Structure 1
């Protein structure tokens, strides 16, 4: 895992919601827990976007479909696939886009996993969800470019960007939580460094991209630096600057401080700053989905991909099916 230094650490190399805690329960019950989940989901988890002719459970060899946040793509495609040992179909988008695809019945996945648990209140409006991992924001920089090296060497990573010596990329806040969390972090950094207007000074509309496009532009040298999740930096071996806890949205004890910043989505919804939390919900019953879901939310494979796993996770919130409660 990346090391952290007070204020602005530099790292190299590859590297909560209230509810019912199930990590210990799952580890002690194993497959039995998956069977309980399978029976509990029947009749309790809706599938509003069901495709005609497709059964709720499907055959045991039928792939389990997972619609996921872009920052989870590698962890699911590599780590989860190896743990599950069954066919797995992973489709990744920005979490806001993924939620809208399901809410608009344009996708009908077995499991949905998003980078912001607030999206399960809207637009998805599910009865329950599991919170299973946390993350933090970092600033990745390109050691191979002069601008990137300036960002990595600066006492305050943003000074070279303000001076026009480096470019900074970010994702679209209207498409995924990383985008609006980046704006939150810049607002919080302005307060932390006593630098009013920092967000406005750093934001460049021409350097806003969908997540996959941001990464490709960063990796090809079109951008000197980019705001990403720590897990993304660990997965891809990015050199990066660690941000202070007051800025990186990683510290649950700073929930009230984070909530002081907000962003208005085009839908009219307002999202507020909060610690980064990943959530998931199973949308069908049956052993194949239940076992995959249990592995997804309780698997230590996530730590290998740079995610943080609090001891209390996974936690379940909302109208949890009875069989899920230990």
Structure 2
């Protein structure tokens, strides 16, 4: 009986427990687990991304955004070196993403904001705050007791940009003591100069003289020190100074790394970080991507869309960091971003860009295709090297043998003859080598060498340099001696040097026409068939470099080869100089017609017609 009572009691307790559980437990229908979005980003993005985080989480209550702020290089290394998993990476230098992450860790980048470099300070606590201006800041920094700071150039783009700014300041103000007295004398950083390009090296141990120079891992680390008066001046991005209500010196455009029109000045300064990688001075542009190993790539994509969308653009604009509208993209872009960004086409070429032809061609092409054309000014050798490395989408070059090898090696596709001009040999009016009127370039070179008359060579592996070398080879001469000078400069710069020094130089006729009013050099040799100069456009092969924009490159080649493109080429220069700077790509039938009309006195036009025919066969 007692056993039965115990059994009944046990059953009753189980029933009561089940009832209680049922009564008090109601399952949550459709509940989601909180998702984590992990972001590694540049320190200068901390404030705008904090606001972006709040707004994004408000739109996605089930998402927890977790950000880690550090120098851009360090942020990328979290993925590439440390092995951490991140869903989004945002850098203060968009070029770090392709250079450090392609193709193993990422294969696209979106450029979404710009900035510029300023010298931030505390109006109440910084020494000489009441005296400093854009004209004397570098003098203030050299005064006793003044401490200037920048972030570690090996870890943070703001740091290497700050170091570059000191050298750019030397060029702008014409004072060659600025870099020496502020950087060389107070750190282990070194600098060398070769033919107008400055190469800075930043060792791992920077050894700052802390009485004058302060260095921290990232630029935002310096903000509190300026606010508290722990240092006097710090190189910061404008957005950071604005966000923290710091006063700042608005540096001149040729120094602050903000303006595309000064790109050729910025690129005169290079900086090699302790890992052996070289950064070239360029306008400041921020980039964002999603690593290939992201745990939540879909969520990462939504965050990128938020940042480049209306809400994100407003956040950045309100915080003194101009957004790029629309954002610009390159690489193997996710389909969801294609309609929200402007595609970028990258081109490498030399004189056609230097003289302005590419600008004339790019404007209507950009309007037609809704894209942005970016040009790297480089000689033919350097352009083809950029193409072989996948750093540009196409090249326009004039080095036929090297071009053919580039295509044969599988790096180039769709090599298309697009235009030509010709080379001429110019020299002093007194013509010490006696070459005036000659039509054989090799014989003219022989006379220059025999008389050891001053001659200038670009010496830069460009198409012009290759052509010059081939003529020396034809003459069976290896030029050397004090009479043979190398400029390592582009066409216009080399021609100006030859003019200043009153030496001989082989230039393209186009550049001579543009500069002739400022030159005291005459065209002395012309008309040799070997001097005809053909330009070809070549797209980079996506089989070699999957991130290139081959389709848009092919569209550009088709456009400049079209009737509209050829008319632009044919008309270029006529309004300003009274003659075209380039010949259009002559069709074979036209070339035959021209050659059939050649008179016994063969002029350059006839020579051009024959060589044009060879170029398109």
TM-score over 0.5 (shorter chain): yes
CA contact 2:152–2:215 (8 Å) conserved in 1: yes
Is it true that 1:214 corresponds to 2:222 in the alignment?
A: yes
Is it true that 1:67 corresponds to 2:44 in the alignment?
A: no
Is it true that 1:266 corresponds to 2:280 in the alignment?
A: no
Change (3 A) 1:106 1:148: farther
CA positional deviation for 1:253: 1.8
How big is each residue's C-alpha offset from its partner over 1:64-121, in whole Å with a ceiling of 9 and x where there is no partner?
1111000001111124422452321111110011111210143211100000111112
Change (3 A) 1:108 1:148: farther
Count of aligned positions = 267
Partner Cα separation in structure 1 for residue 73 and residue 100 of structure 2: 8
Matches within 5 A, 1:98-109: 98-109=75-86
Is it true that 1:308 corresponds to 2:322 in the alignment?
A: yes
CA contact 1:128–1:317 (8 Å) conserved in 2: yes
CA positional deviation for 1:218: 1.7
In the other structure, the counterpart of 1:141 is: 121
CA positional deviation for 1:153: 5.2
* Match among 63, 68, 76 for residue 91 of structure 1: 68
CA positional deviation for 1:163: 2.2
Larger radius of gyration: 2
CA contact 2:111–2:324 (8 Å) conserved in 1: no
* Match among 90, 100, 109 for residue 123 of structure 1: 100
CA contact 1:113–1:278 (8 Å) conserved in 2: yes
CA positional deviation for 1:310: 3.4
Task: Give the secondary structure class of the aligned counterpart of 1:122.
Answer: helix
Partner Cα separation in structure 2 for residue 179 and residue 306 of structure 1: 20
Matches within 5 A, 1:171-210: 171-203=151-183, 204=186, 205=208, 206=210, 207-210=214-217
Change (3 A) 1:151 1:82: farther
In the other structure, the counterpart of 1:157 is: 137
Change (3 A) 1:146 1:175: closer
Change (3 A) 1:199 1:288: same
Change (3 A) 1:256 1:153: closer
Q: Which has the higher contact order (CA 8 A, sep 6+)?
A: 1
How big is each residue's C-alpha offset from its partner over 1:161-185, in whole Å with a ceiling of 9 and x where there is no partner?
1122522111110110000000111
* Match among 284, 295, 307 for residue 276 of structure 1: 284
Is it true that 1:291 corresponds to 2:302 in the alignment?
A: yes
Change (3 A) 1:97 1:154: closer
CA contact 1:64–1:289 (8 Å) conserved in 2: yes
Partner Cα separation in structure 2 for residue 97 and residue 105 of structure 1: 9
Change (3 A) 1:151 1:291: farther
Change (3 A) 1:267 1:222: same
Partner Cα separation in structure 1 for residue 143 and residue 167 of structure 2: 19
CA positional deviation for 1:60: 6.7
- Structure 1 stretches of 5 or more lacking a match? 1-58
Partner Cα separation in structure 2 for residue 192 and residue 239 of structure 1: 23
Partner Cα separation in structure 1 for residue 126 and residue 288 of structure 2: 40
Change (3 A) 1:310 1:213: closer
Partner Cα separation in structure 1 for residue 140 and residue 173 of structure 2: 15
In the other structure, the counterpart of 1:166 is: 146
Task: Give the secondary structure class of the aligned counterpart of 2:221.
Answer: helix
CA positional deviation for 1:158: 1.8
Partner Cα separation in structure 1 for residue 322 and residue 298 of structure 2: 27
Task: Give the secondary structure class of the aligned counterpart of 1:117.
Answer: coil
Task: Give the secondary structure class of the aligned counterpart of 1:164.
Answer: coil
Task: Give the secondary structure class of the aligned counterpart of 1:314.
Answer: strand
CA contact 1:140–1:226 (8 Å) conserved in 2: yes
CA positional deviation for 1:221: 0.9
Change (3 A) 1:121 1:128: same
CA positional deviation for 1:271: 0.5
Query: Which sits farther off after the overlay, 240-249 or 284-293?
Result: 284-293
CA positional deviation for 1:152: 3.3
CA positional deviation for 1:155: 4.1
CA positional deviation for 1:63: 2.4
Task: Give the secondary structure class of the aligned counterpart of 2:101.
Answer: coil
In the other structure, the counterpart of 1:319 is: 332
How big is each residue's C-alpha offset from its partner over 1:251-287, in whole Å with a ceiling of 9 and x where there is no partner?
0122121111011111111111000010000234654
With the length of structure 2 as denominator, give the TM-score of the two structures: 0.41
Q: CA RMSD in A?
A: 2.0
